[in-house]
Structure 1
Amino acid sequence: MVKGNSSKKSRREAGQGYLFMAPVLIILGIFVIAPILCAIYLSFHKVELLGGTHLEFRGLDNFLKITFDDRAHIALKNTVLYVVIVVPLQTLLALVLAASLNAGMKGQKFFRIVYFLPTLTSSAVLTLIFMWMYNQNGLINHILHMLHLPTYNWIGDPSVALLAIMIMNIWATAPFFMVIYLAALQDIPDSHYEAAELDGATGLQKFWHITVPNLRPVTSFVVIMGLIGTFQLFDQSYIFSGGSGGPNNSTLTVVLLIYQYAFKSLGTMGYATALAFMLAIIILIATLLQRKFSKEESLY
């Protein structure tokens, strides 16, 4: 009898729990899970949206088409290059900025505000500001000319257009990760640094042997967030190129290509969802690999 009452009570408590969770589950189901399932379904079809939605089952054709699509290869190459350069540099810059602020420098509060300002600015507005600075007669070329360095056509030259976006995003995103590092730095016990000082450790040795190892979990989080964000580059590339991914496809990214196929071409919505699904798989694999490597490092 006691067992029966106990099981009834546990079922009632579970039912109450699910009842309280219902609003969140409904929202997740409608706005997250349903769109994902719909996108997976569309990726196996040719989709016509004009004149009424028309679906034609294509099987794996959309996924096989990716292997023959030169623009998809260019977009993937540009995106991977962007990720490989931006993620390490923005992580390193965020760590250096956080360490400098945590060192007790004069005007620390002022510099915290100044460093964080780029993160508060809308990415669209920030891109327009940098486009003005990147103009052939703009601020950056003017400074380079004053320093007797070569100037560039930052927006119109295919060899430097993607680099221009990289510089802008590193400058804009590093302060966000800096705040995360700064919070983690203040959790490292001062006794570790005091013990190192007694052993005659220099500032660089303390940073490398105490600060960096203690920040490994935070660094793992920062890198994962950086990977997800950089793989999804869209708005800056769209504004820089006017939606074309130019010049000469040099700023074409996977997400921008997905947008072009989904909304600029007829009958390619299904192919666009296949590209989106492929991108999701790539991000998942990159994230899992990063977590695996970070766990292996923590064992040593």
Structure 2
Amino acid sequence: MKTSPFPRKYNITENLAAYFFMAPTILILGIFVVLPIVFAVFLSLHNVKLLGSIEYQFVGVRNFTQLVDDERIWIALKNTAEYVVIVVPAQTILAVILAVTLNSGIRGKNWWRILYFLPTVTSSAVLTLIFMWIYNTNGLLNDLLTALGLPTYNWLGDPGVALKAIMMMNIWSTAPFYMVIYLAALQDIPRTLYEAAELDGANWWEKFIHITIPVLKPVTFFVVAIGIIGTFQLFDQSYIFSGGTGGPNNATLTIVLLIYQAVFRHLQMGYAAAIAFLLAILIIIVTLFGRRLFGGEGV
């Protein structure tokens, strides 16, 4: 029977030392991750009275069953789903196009990188206010459409186009961030792969489809996953555009804006926690679907 070359006392001391060095991380994760999740579960099972002395009334799963009957939940889900389905693919495709363009060796590519990346480093609130000015009835966009002989829109007040206006703004402002990720990945692809394809007579499109896209698959999963998480959490643009109402006619109402309204307008802390869990489940399901679609196990 083999015995340990180290005394048992030494092993215990070594383990204690390891846990001592891990303690700060465990403490931070416990306070800022685990405890908030546990408290959110507690809140979702209670009706919380916020005015005066805080009181908790246990209601079981009533907050969750209320989700099914809440018409605004379904409106927010529809708006959020539409936003995710359009924005995530659009910003991903645009990011790939911009990255491939910059990686192709165009003149002044450093200046183009700066120009492309400017929207990403600009405050989201500032960008939203700028676009509200552009989208104004007498704003820059309608002036441009008039000059081209195209129909104009009430971008801020028409329920049919209000969410699309936010989509266009976010696609333009978020694609450069993912462009940088794609650009770094493109520069890591060995040139020998493209040279071998050229020897076989492949043109630029065949190299792009059969070399670039497959090699970028793990990066695409990361970009799509981050994009899904970000788009599901749309709040600030929708809040500023609608003044916190989700209007016009609930056209810009999102899940996170609904959580905000439940807490700060209706003082329904428990119901807001239930909505937050619904959002978390949706993000997990859609992200797992994206993992299966893009083969995220290679990331």
TM bracket (short chain): over 0.9
1:28 pairs with 2:3: no
Structure 1 distance, partners of 2:297, 2:263, is 41
Q: Which runs of 5+ in 1 are unaligned?
A: none
Partner SS, residue 107 of structure 2: coil
Partner SS, residue 48 of structure 2: strand
Change (3 A) 1:194 1:255: same
Name the aligned partner's letter for residue 161 of structure 2. V
User: Offset of 1:17 from its aligned partner?
Assistant: 2.1
Structure 2 distance, partners of 1:122, 1:91, is 21
Question: Which residue in the other structure is 2:253 paired with?
Answer: 252
Between the two proteins, the alignment pairs up a number of residues equal to 297
Q: Structure 1 runs of 4+ off > 6 angstroms?
A: none
Matched ranges for 1:120-269 at <5 A = 120-266=121-267, 268-269=268-269
Matched ranges for 1:93-108 at <5 A = 93-108=94-109
- Contact 2:221–2:296 under 8 Å retained in 1: no
Change (3 A) 1:296 1:123: closer
Name the aligned partner's letter for residue 90 of structure 1. Q
Matched ranges for 1:101-120 at <5 A = 101-120=102-121
Structure 2 distance, partners of 1:126, 1:7, is 62
TM-score, normalization by structure 1: 0.96
Question: Which residue in the other structure is 2:280 paired with?
Answer: 280
Structure 2 distance, partners of 1:281, 1:201, is 44
Change (3 A) 1:265 1:139: same
Structure 2 distance, partners of 1:55, 1:198, is 72
1:83 pairs with 2:84: yes
Partner SS, residue 69 of structure 2: coil
Name the aligned partner's letter for residue 158 of structure 2. D
Structure 1 distance, partners of 2:171, 2:220, is 16
Change (3 A) 1:98 1:10: farther
Percent sequence identity over aligned pairs: 62
Matched ranges for 1:12-27 at <5 A = 12-27=13-28
User: Offset of 1:45 from its aligned partner?
Assistant: 0.7
Partner SS, residue 168 of structure 1: helix
- Contact 2:43–2:273 under 8 Å retained in 1: yes
Q: Which runs of 5+ in 2 are unaligned?
A: none
Partner SS, residue 5 of structure 1: coil
Partner SS, residue 67 of structure 1: helix
Change (3 A) 1:296 1:132: closer
User: Offset of 1:4 from its aligned partner?
Assistant: 7.5
User: Offset of 1:197 from its aligned partner?
Assistant: 1.2
Structure 2 distance, partners of 1:174, 1:296, is 21
Change (3 A) 1:196 1:60: same
- Contact 2:217–2:295 under 8 Å retained in 1: no
TM-score, normalization by structure 2: 0.96
- Contact 2:95–2:175 under 8 Å retained in 1: yes
Structure 2 distance, partners of 1:296, 1:280, is 19
User: Offset of 1:9 from its aligned partner?
Assistant: 3.2
Structure 1 distance, partners of 2:141, 2:15, is 62
Structure 2 distance, partners of 1:222, 1:239, is 26
Question: Which residue in the other structure is 2:294 paired with?
Answer: 294
User: Offset of 1:8 from its aligned partner?
Assistant: 3.5
Partner SS, residue 6 of structure 2: helix
User: Offset of 1:297 from its aligned partner?
Assistant: 10
Partner SS, residue 175 of structure 1: helix
- Contact 2:234–2:256 under 8 Å retained in 1: yes
Root mean square deviation of aligned Cα:
1.6
- Contact 2:218–2:296 under 8 Å retained in 1: no
Structure 2 distance, partners of 1:40, 1:174, is 35
Partner SS, residue 253 of structure 2: coil
Structure 1 distance, partners of 2:9, 2:102, is 57
Question: Which residue in the other structure is 2:55 paired with?
Answer: 54
Structure 1 distance, partners of 2:148, 2:24, is 60
User: Offset of 1:40 from its aligned partner?
Assistant: 0.8
How big is each residue's C-alpha offset from its partner over 1:239-270, in whole Å with a ceiling of 9 and x where there is no partner? 0000000000000000000000011113x110
Question: Which residue in the other structure is 1:68 paired with?
Answer: 69
